[in-house]
Structure 1
C-alpha cells in the first residue's frame, strides 16, 4: 500500500477502542477515520473490527493484522529517519504524559527551548498523577516515577529523583530543628501523611538504614493531617503543619526562598526511579527520541548520579518517598 495513513488510523482506532477518540488524537474528522478503516478492510478482504454503538473491538483477523501493521509502521518510521539526522525537521504530533508536579516545576518551564528547536512539531502534554494506559489513551511516551506495572511496556531509565526532608521555619520555631532520628522521636515532631487511599495505615518517616535488606527503614511519626494530593502535601508543609519528604525538584523554589528548610540532610529518603515508558516497540520515532533526550537534560540536575536500581518503588514528585504511596 502506497499510503500508510489508513494503517496508522486503524492502529489508533484498535488501540483506543473508539473512532471518536482515535480521530481526536490524530487531529482528523471521525468520518475520515471511519472511511479509511472501511477502505482498508475492503483492500485486505476481511473485517478487522467489530463495531457496536458502545465500543469497537478487533476481530480475530484484526488482531493478527494489527500486530503486523504496528511492526510495519515502526520499521517504516525507523527507516525514514535512518539517515535524516538533524537535517530533516521534526514534524507531526507528539503526545506525552507527565507527572503533575514534574510538568509544572521542571518540564513546562523549559518547553520554550524545545519548541523553538522543533518549531514544526505539535506537542500534546497530558499532566496527571495516575498511571495512564499508553495504548488505550494513545500516548507516544510517558514519563513515569516508580514501577512500570506492565511487562508489555518498554521502560528506558533516566536516573533517580533526589529526595529531601523539609519543614517550614514556623514549624521549626515551634518544635525545634531535629539533628538526629532520636530528635524526631523525643521532641514531639509530626509528619504530614500522604496516601492515595484514606484509611490506610501510615508508613512512617523513611530514612537510610544499612541493617535493612533494602537499605531503608521507616520511623513511625504522629500526624493529624492526611492528604492524597501532591499539591496539598506541599501546601501543608509550607503552612507549618508538619514535616515532609519530597522531591527536591518540586520544592527547590521554596528552599531557595526560605519558605521551606531542608533538615536531616544525612538521612534523606530513598531516591525515586524515573523512566520514560513506551508501548510495544524498541525502534522509537525521532520525535520520541528527541523529547526523551531533551527531558533527560532538563531533569539531570535533579537526578542522583547513581544508576537506576532494580525493584522500582512507586511515588510522585513532591509526594513522600516512604511506602505510603504503595
Structure 2
C-alpha cells in the first residue's frame, strides 16, 4: 500500500463528506478510494470512518488521525516544493475558482501567458459568482471580491473594485439624467444584483460626506450573474452600478454614461484566497503571483 496516497485519500473523504465526492475530486474510481481507506484502517487497526448510505462521519480516532495527517501531508508537499527544481518548474493540476467577470475580462484573455510560463501546470478553472468551500470542494485557490468571512483561510489582497453608476444614452434621453440618488426612486428603472447563493438583493448604494443613500425601490430587473448584469444595463434595461473595470470599454464606445460622480460607492477589496495547509505549494504560489501581476498592471483595479 502507498501510505502517502492512502493518507491523501482518507483526508479527501473526510473533507468531501462522501466516498463518491472524494472519488470525483481525486479522479479515481470509487472502489479505489474505498480500498485505500480500508487498507489504512487495517494497517492502523482502528476504525477511522463511520459509513452510512448517505454520508461518512469521522470517528474519534479518525479525527485525531486526520489532524495529524493533514499537517504531515502539508509538510511533505512543502518539502518537495522547496526543492530548487520544483520552485523553478512547478507542476501538477491546479484547481482555481474565479468570478465570471474577472474570468471573462482578465484571466482567460491572458491565461495563455501563464500556460507558456508554467507548461507543466494543468488548470481546472471553475467560473461562477457562487461562493464555494475551498476545503470540501478541493479547490486550491479562489479570486473573490469582498471582505473575508473565514479567518482560517490565507488571503492576499491583489486589488480593489471601484463602482460606478451608469445607464445608456437612450435610456437617459427617455427618463432624464438624475441629479441626486433619490431622483432614481421615481420615474426611473433600477437594475440590481442578487446573490446566487443567499438570494439577497443588493440595492444601489451611494456615499457622500458620511451620508449613505440606498435605492432599491421596486427594481425593474434583478440579475444574479455579473456579466449578464452588465449586458442588461447596456441593453437599456435601466440604471445600475458596475465596476469601472467592467464599464470602461462601454464608456469609451459611448454605450454607457457615468452618473452621479459625486456619490461613489466604497471600493471592494479583491483577494486571492487559499487553504492554510497549501501556502507553500509551488503551483499555487505561481498562480497567486501571476494573478497579482495582472491586477497590478490595470490601474482600474488598484484604485483605493
TM tier, smaller: 0.7 to 0.9
Determine the C-alpha separation between the residues in 1 that align with 2:181 and 2:137: 48
Partner of 2:221: 226
- Which of the numbers 221, 240, 244 marks the counterpart of 1:248? 244
Output aligned runs, 1:1-326, within 5 Å: 3-84=3-84, 88-178=88-178, 180-181=179-180, 184=183, 188-196=187-195, 204-212=203-211, 217-220=212-215, 222=217, 224-230=219-225, 231-281=227-277, 283-300=279-296, 301=298, 302-306=300-304
Cα 1:226–1:50 shift into 2, 3 Å: same
Cα 1:34–1:167 shift into 2, 3 Å: same
Cα 1:182–1:137 shift into 2, 3 Å: closer
Determine the C-alpha separation between the residues in 1 that align with 2:132 and 2:224: 17
Determine the C-alpha separation between the residues in 2 that align with 1:4 and 1:86: 19
Question: Are the counterparts in 1 of residues 161 and 270 from structure 2 also a CA contact under 8 Å?
Answer: yes
Question: Are the counterparts in 1 of residues 3 and 40 from structure 2 also a CA contact under 8 Å?
Answer: no
Determine the C-alpha separation between the residues in 2 that align with 1:234 and 1:129: 14
SS of equivalent residue, structure 1 residue 249: helix
Determine the C-alpha separation between the residues in 2 that align with 1:112 and 1:34: 38
TM-score, with structure 2 as normaliser: 0.86
Question: Are the counterparts in 2 of residues 175 and 187 from structure 1 also a CA contact under 8 Å?
Answer: no
CA shift digits 1:292-318 (9 cap, x unpaired): 111122223142343xxxxxxxxxxxx
Deviation of 1:86 after TM superposition, in Å, equals 6.8
Unaligned runs of 5+ in 2: none
Question: Are the counterparts in 1 of residues 167 and 240 from structure 2 also a CA contact under 8 Å?
Answer: yes
Structure 1, 82-91 or 167-176: larger mean CA deviation: 82-91
Deviation of 1:186 after TM superposition, in Å, equals 9.8
Determine the C-alpha separation between the residues in 1 that align with 2:181 and 2:55: 58
Deviation of 1:187 after TM superposition, in Å, equals 8.8
Cα 1:305–1:284 shift into 2, 3 Å: farther
Cα 1:46–1:208 shift into 2, 3 Å: same
Deviation of 1:244 after TM superposition, in Å, equals 1.2
Question: Are the counterparts in 2 of residues 98 and 128 from structure 1 also a CA contact under 8 Å?
Answer: yes
Q: What RMSD in Å do the two structures reach over aligned CA positions?
A: 2.8
Determine the C-alpha separation between the residues in 1 that align with 2:257 and 2:126: 31
Deviation of 1:275 after TM superposition, in Å, equals 1.4
Determine the C-alpha separation between the residues in 1 that align with 2:235 and 2:213: 24
Bigger helix share: 2
Structure 1, 77-86 or 139-148: larger mean CA deviation: 77-86
Question: Are the counterparts in 1 of residues 181 and 213 from structure 2 also a CA contact under 8 Å?
Answer: no
SS of equivalent residue, structure 1 residue 104: helix
SS of equivalent residue, structure 1 residue 132: coil
Unaligned runs of 5+ in 1: 307-326
Question: Are the counterparts in 2 of residues 203 and 220 from structure 1 also a CA contact under 8 Å?
Answer: no
Question: Are the counterparts in 1 of residues 208 and 264 from structure 2 also a CA contact under 8 Å?
Answer: no
Deviation of 1:251 after TM superposition, in Å, equals 3.5
Deviation of 1:69 after TM superposition, in Å, equals 0.8
